Amino acid sequence: MGDSMSKRLKLVTASESEMEERSFSNPFPDWDQGVLPSSPSAANSSTGDLFDADGKITEAFQNKVQNKIKDLLQQMEEGLKTSDPHDFSTYTGWTGIALLYLQLHRVTADSSHLQRSLDYVKRTLRNLNGRKVTFLCGDAGPLAVAAVVHHRLKNQADSKEFLTKLLQLQRSVISPDSEIPDELLYGRAGYLYALLYVNKEIGPETVDEKIITNVVTAILESGKNLSREEKKTERCPLLYEWHKKQYVGAAHGLAGIYYMLMQPTAKVHSEILTELVRPSIDYVRHKKFRSGNYPSSLSNETDRLVHWCHGAPGVVHMLIMARKVFKDEKYLKDAAECGEVIWQRGLLRKGYGICHGTAGNGYAFLSLYKLTQEQKYLYRACKFAEWCLDYGKHGCRIPDRPYSLFEGMAGAIHFLSDLAQPEDSCFPAFEL
């Protein structure tokens, strides 16, 4: 017994040290233990620095964030000079930077940001290659962002031109014999996002409803087919895989696809939502770890990754949307559990980005805050932002594209800039 016990202990230690390698233990006092802003000792507590008596983020903290944004933008611009000139993607390339400047224009109304956005998106357009169709990694990203930037600049003819090119990509997306996957980074859901994005930014009728329906139908058919093949039509009527693996997370998996299908602007019929999407979401819910986290794929049973791309920080967005669509409190409960595990293990050693970094995990709190209006979540978002204010000082790994929107600095700046108006915050290339 002693032997098996020591073996078990060793196992525990091994997995714990592994865990430690992935995230920092959270040094911040939690909200429940924190001091409420209205109490007399508030001035001395970290909570007191963050919120004024009305529960709003204090001007002092907002100023700190604004100054850091300026500083990081300068570093980013310098660093981008040596970045891959041909990477046009939203994920790691120039479209991501154009999107960041669009965001800065939205929150500051400074027209120089819009001009910058145009400059960056222009460089992408000569590099498009027709190989991929998604917003994050394919041609749809640059084309959609170009259409939006030109629309904001009131260059309607140019905007139209890019829109037309965006819509030309639909053929390969809806063709039933195309090899295209369904997930967000490389698949149909990533094209669907591009269409919903231009409808949100330019106007609700910009992309014809019929086109959106065709893309949605292709996603549904693909999911039904795999579910049938895997004999899961009862338990999980919409099943998807990427590179032969049934991923769960937002980037490559079920959560990202269901999240897009539930968008009100995708106009998926309520019967389909109830009969196909909802049971599939419940199937994913049953894969939840005891910690509240989710596996990276259906066949994976190790509770390791707490990233937007794999784990609770991505799945939480699906749960929040499920709560809105199906009005069932169980989704909120699971989303709140995601919030707990992200708070515990969400300060990542991989860096400050949004795909698998601390800023992306901070967005989970902003989304929970938008849904619940609970101050606790705004507090947690601010604490993760505070962590990002010490950018580069924690000895994190440096990502391959250190200034990019999804891996690096641009993503952290995007997150910080969303603290100015937390109610309107929006995870780029994902939330709508």
Nearer to Zn ion, 323 or 356 (CB): 356
Q: Which is nearer to Zn ion, 22 or 200 (CB)?
A: 22
Does residue 84 sit in helix, strand or coil?
A: coil
How far apart CA 248 and CA 387 sit, in angstroms, is 28
Q: In angstroms, rounded to a whole number, what is the distance separating the alpha carbons of residues 43 and 52?
A: 10
Q: Is 338 assigned a ligand-binding role in the annotation? A: no
**Choice between 239 and 355, CB closer to Zn ion:** 355
In the block, residue with structure tokens 């507590």: 45
CA gap 236, 43 in Å, rounded: 51
CB nearer to Zn ion: pick between 76 and 348: 348
Q: Partners of 242 in the beta sheet?
A: 245
Exactly one of 149, 250, 309, 332 binds Zn ion (CB under 5 A); that residue is 309
Q: Are 96 and 410 in contact (CB under 8 A)?
A: yes
**Residue 99 or 195 with smaller CB distance to Zn ion:** 99
Residue whose entry in the numeric block shows the structure tokens 């999911």? 223
Which SS3 state, helix, strand or coil, does residue 348 take?
Answer: strand
Instruction: Choose the binding region for Zn ion from 57-65, 70-78, 256-264, 307-315 (rule: CB under 5 A).
Output: 307-315
Closest CA to 97 of 109, 108, 87, 106: 87
Q: Is 355 annotated as a binding residue?
A: yes
Closest CB 153 distance from Zn ion, rounded Å: 32
Could you say which residues in the range 153-182 bind Zn ion, by CB under 5 A? none
Cα separation, 118 vs 1, in Å, equals: 68
Instruction: Find the binding residues for Zn ion in span 337-356 (CB under 5 A).
Output: 355-356
Residues 355 to 394 in contact with Zn ion, rule: CB under 5 A: 355-356
- Report the residue number, 37 or 249, with the smaller CB distance to Zn ion: 249
Chain residue at closest Cβ approach to Zn ion:
309
Stretch that binds Zn ion, among 62-70, 305-313, 338-346, 387-395 (CB under 5 A): 305-313
Please answer whether residues 173 and 215 qualify as being in contact, where contact means their C-beta atoms are separated by less than 8 angstroms: yes
Instruction: Tell whether residue 356 is among the known ligand binding residues.
Output: yes
Q: How far is the CB of 95 from Zn ion (least distance, A)?
A: 17
Among residues 36, 19, 27, 82, which one has the least CA distance to residue 390?
A: 27
Can residue 304 be called a binding residue for Zn ion (CB under 5 A)?
no
Give me the sign of the Cα torsion angle 289, 182, 362, 410.
positive
Count of residues that interact with Zn ion, criterion CB under 5 A: 3
Annotated binding-site residues read 309, 355-356
Residues in contact with Zn ion by the rule CB under 5 A: 309, 355-356
Annotated binding-site residues for Zn(2+) read 309, 355-356
